[in-house]
Amino acid sequence: MNRVGSKDHMLVKAYVLLPLILSAFERDAGIISSHLRTPAPYLDMLNSAAAAVTGDLRDIRHEMRKQGIKVYQQQRLGNGIEARFLCRGYHDQMLLLYDIIAAQAAIHMRRYLGMDISAFKNYEDQYPIKPESGERVP
């Protein structure tokens, strides 16, 4: 019997993915600030998106503590990132393939930047990064 539910996996996936998105925004801000003549508007947008990611990551960490989930190892492999975690006393692992990470990160980055992701909405519904507001994680 699997003691780790899909909501638990979603939290772990978000815990792995959100720092990558935050790093991408920070890296892009550095590139923009050194290569554009008027970087301020772009940096404001990236900083706002990064702040939203930081807030979501804080919420994810809080929910993980509440649900008894702890990621104790993350390892970059040739094909993806493996996360090993403890969920209410049960050990489990998850492998996020780099191709999937890149695709999901691109969608979520667009959302954080305030862009229309309706073309990706079906994908977002299938692979959410965190519960909808008001939705309780079991």
CA dist., res. 104 & res. 84, Å (int)? 20
Q: Above pLDDT 90, what percent of the chain? A: 77
The mean pLDDT value for 57-64 works out to 96
pTM of the model: 0.83
Cα–Cα dist 46/10, whole Å = 25
Instruction: Say yes or no to pLDDT of 136 above 90.
Output: no
The greatest distance separating any two alpha carbons of the chain, rounded to the nearest whole angstrom, comes to 58
Strand partners, 80: 97
Whole-number pLDDT of residue 138: 39
Mean residue pLDDT across the chain: 88
Count of beta carbons in the 10 Å neighbourhood of residue 16: 19
**pLDDT value of residue 94:** 94
| pLDDT tens, residue by residue, 104-114 | 999 999 999 99
Query: Is residue 3 pLDDT above 90, yes or no?
Result: no
**CB burial of residue 113 (10 Å; 0-12, 13-18, 19+):** middle
- Tell me the one-letter amino acid at 73: Q
Three-state DSSP state, 127: coil
Q: What percent of the chain has pLDDT over 70?
A: 84
